[in-house]
Amino acid sequence: IALIFASALAYEEEEDGGYCLSHEATGAICLQGSTLADKLPQAFYACFSDSNRRGKGGKRGKGGKKGGKQGADKCHSFDDIMQWVEEEFTDDGCVLKQIGWMDAEG
C-alpha cells in the first residue's frame, strides 16, 4: 500500500492532461524488492564519488569530432575504435562490474 501511495505522489500532471513519473520514482518502483535496489547505490558511489573519479572515464556526452565531413572517408584503426569504446563506456562498465553483471573479461 505504501508503494502505491508513494507512486501516486510521484506522478506529475503534464500540460496535455497526462501524467509522468520522475526517473527517481520509476527507478524506485522498478527496483523495489530486487537485489539491484541494494547494489546500485553502492555501485554509483564506487564509480562516481569524487574520491573515486580520478583516472576514470567521465568523457561522456562530448559528441563527435569537430569538422563535419572532413575525414569521413577515413577508415579508423582498430586501436582508435577501441580507445573510443573505452572512453565512451567506461562509466557503464564500472557500474556493470560493481553490480556483478560484468567481469574483467567483459
For 65-90, give the DSSP string: -SSTTTTTTPPPPHHHHHHHHHHHHH
**Residues 6+ away with beta carbon under 8 Å from 38:** none
Kindly state the cell numbers that stand for 1: 500500500
- Give this prediction's pTM: 0.52
Q: What number of other Cβ atoms are within 10 A of residue 20's Cβ?
A: 13
Query: Which pLDDT score, from 0 to 100, does residue 26 have?
Result: 86
What's the chain's Rg over C-alpha atoms? Answer: 20
Assess whether pLDDT exceeds 90 at residue 18.
no
Q: Are 20 and 11 in contact (CB under 8 A)?
A: yes
- pLDDT-derived band at 27, boundaries 50, 70, 90: confident
What pLDDT was estimated at residue 9? 55
Does 47 score more than 90 pLDDT? yes
Per-residue pLDDT at 106 exceeds 80: no
